[in-house]
Chains A and B, each alone.
Chain A
Amino acid sequence: MLLGIIDGILTGGVYALMASGLTLIFGVMEVISVAQGIFVILGAYLSYSLEAHFGIDLFLGLFITIPALFIVGIAVEWAFLRRLKAQERIAMSILVTYAVFLIIEGVLNIVYGTNYFALHAWYVTQSVELFGVYLSYIYIFGFLLAAGLLAALYVVLYRTRFGASVRAAMQDRTAASLVGVDVRRVSTITFGIGTAVTAAGGMIYGATNSFNANSAEDLISRLLVIVVLGGLGSIGGALAAAVLMLVIEDVVAVVWSPDWATVIFFLALVAVLSIRPVGLFGRQAARAQ
């Protein structure tokens, strides 16, 4: 039970990081990026390559992989997403990012093959005893990293000029552009940031699970559920939802049955949305649509 709660909180932090990117992108751009899952896997593969070929430590490698994914994100936004018209934007964004997903999956299959990979480092296998249970360093480090990055994201959003523009764009794109915010530029950078966080998420995911390009499909459905449960566009909501969902799932898996844990995971979303259609921390829309 205790074990389930601790596992849930630690892995929840990492999911929160991956989901925060997704929810931020939605909040600013009204875009649902189903490519988020494959970006995570891309991040994991990049960390693998840096470690395997250049001996770069997984955490140090983030100084390379985070900017790399930031650039990938900007490129995708610039090449495809900004060309979408406001009309049917959400639906079209799902299609575009799904196409990006397929292409990256194909490329990863060709480059890395279909065998499962895992990231190795001393902190992946060594552990420390806390509250009578063993915890691997990677979970603790991963959680701290996720928390640190989320804090940094918070600072950027609430303490900088750029953050103010982002928040303005989240509230109302038209109004923001009227007061002089360059909404296009803000969108591009936001998509870059939302994608860049997957580099860190992917590294931790790759160190705690073994993966191939196909793992992205499992990931994206979970991330979407977390984001919607938290309330689309709400970073705090994504954080709370990620931790809540993983704690529920892990506790159910331990005390009842892993077979039903996943059902509970999805049913929790259905139950919450039946009572609160905007999610836990979602803003009530001014109009239904």
Chain B
Amino acid sequence: MVRRIGIGVWSVIFVLLALVPVIEGNPTFTSIGVFTLIFMSSASAWNGFSGYSGYISLGNGVFYGTGAYALTVIALDAHMAPSGDIFWLVPLAGLIAAIIAVPFGFIALRVRRHTFVVITIAIFFVFQLLAYNFSFTGGSAGLLPPTPNWVGNTYNDPFYYVAFAVLVFTVLLFWGIRRSRFGLHLLAIRDDEDRARGLGVKVLRIKMLGFVLSAFVTGMGGAIFAFFIGQVYPQYAFDPVFGITVALMTFFGGIGTISGPLLGALLLEPIEQYLTIQYSVGSLYLIIYGALFLLVILFMPRGLVPTIGDWRRFVRVHLAQRREKVLPAKGDAVVGDDVAGDVPAVTTGMQ
């Protein structure tokens, strides 16, 4: 019942998101929308591996960049006409990013968690530098994917809906994982890897699968980004800030929950763009953005979704206690309700 309502809320949000180009078709909104949707799926994908398994990756930019280059290189090599057909390359680009994730994961997933953070950064820079040095990536001059000749006012809409479709796919994928045996195994690894191994979880294989799925979704996001912007350059396709951004969005919303990364990206991407437009003069926006994060981390260390859950529970217990004086007690309403099937970070499904 509770779960169904959480789903209901998100359904409303998704219907609203689907209607954005119809209700407010202004290109500014739809272009912020495209980036927001890409970040929603990328943050979910990041959470689907790093949030569930506890292995914090700051190198997801590798998959984003790989997806961006894959779409561009294939579209150019196949001499594809600048039309919507290029969107069919998006899943293919995701697949290529997923393939890249196999050797990456094979090296990175064998080390301890805090070392993992740094090795993902290092591998990220290797990829960025390779994009500079190889000839098929166009080196420092980058590549320009075909750009459709659509009119300005509705140009963003196809990109918006493709990004939206990818998001729906992503949410269903990680929602399914969260409820599956595989998802439980990932959570078990987060809580106690040695114990999980002892209980017969094939740790490396599970981590690898999570990593590859995460890469697949992120690669699709990168592909849409490249096609939308109309160019790929090493420093912007393989953007070091990307990996940090998806992590921040997830932490902001609530790591390890389904709705956390969605909410984090849905709020932060528009806020960031807005702050940059408003306060960028004199770097003030860096200070505001940093301060905002410190506030969230200090006062809601587990992110928005779990903290809101805590507050609501607190209020409800408080109300219930007050009512207790009038009505008979009913403790059961307090337990076991959290948003949309999210399990708070302290509990685990491995009992």
Binding site for B on A (CB under 8 A): 26, 30, 32, 80, 83-85, 87-88, 90-92, 94-96, 98-103, 105-107, 109-110, 217, 221, 224-225, 227-228, 232, 259-260, 262-263, 266-267, 269-270, 273-274, 277-279, 282, 285, 287-289
- Flag B129-143 by CB within 8 Å of A: 1 or 0 each: 110110000000000
List the A side residues contacting B346 at CB < 8 Å.
87
Among B117-125, B169-177, B226-234, the stretch in contact with A = B117-125
- Flag B290-323 by CB within 8 Å of A: 1 or 0 each: 1101100110010000000000000000000000
Pairs A–B under 8 Å by Cβ, sample size 27: A80-B294, A83-B298, A91-B251, A95-B247, A95-B293, A95-B297, A99-B293, A102-B289, A102-B293, A109-B282, A109-B283, A110-B283, A217-B240, A221-B240, A225-B121, A225-B122, A259-B133, A263-B130, A269-B119, A270-B123, A273-B115, A273-B119, A277-B110, A277-B115, A278-B112, A282-B115, A288-B193
Would you call the interface of chain B mostly helix, strand, loop, or mixed?
helix
Contact: B283 with A106, CB < 8 Å? yes
CA distance A285 to B114 in the complex (A): 12
Contact: B283 with A95, CB < 8 Å? no
Interface presence of B161 (CB below 8 A): no
Binding site for A on B (CB under 8 A): 54, 56, 58, 107, 110-115, 117-119, 121-123, 125-126, 129-130, 132-133, 192-194, 240, 244, 247-248, 251, 255, 282-287, 289-291, 293-294, 297-298, 301, 345-346
Contact: B115 with A279, CB < 8 Å? yes
Which 4 residue pairs spanning A and B have beta carbons closest together?
A: A106-B286, A102-B290, A109-B283, A103-B290
Contact of A95 among B54, B125, B193, B251 (CB under 8 A): B251
CA distance A287 to B294 in the complex (A): 32
- The smallest C-beta distance from A233 to any residue of chain B, in angstroms, reads 10
Query: Taking A102-B287, A109-B283, A224-B121 as contacts, is the C-beta distance between A270 and B112 under 8 angstroms?
Result: no
List the B side residues contacting A91 at CB < 8 Å.
56, 247, 251, 255
Contact: B118 with A260, CB < 8 Å? no
CA distance A212 to B134 in the complex (A): 30
CA distance A238 to B193 in the complex (A): 28
Contact: B122 with A100, CB < 8 Å? no
Contact: B118 with A228, CB < 8 Å? yes
- The smallest C-beta distance from A178 to any residue of chain B, in angstroms, reads 23
CA distance A102 to B123 in the complex (A): 24
Query: Taking A109-B282, A262-B129 as contacts, is the C-beta distance between A273 and B107 under 8 angstroms?
Result: yes
Contact: B119 with A109, CB < 8 Å? no
Contact of B244 among A98, A279, A288 (CB under 8 A): A98
List the B side residues contacting A228 at CB < 8 Å.
115, 118-119, 122
Contact of B125 among A87, A232, A266, A274 (CB under 8 A): A266
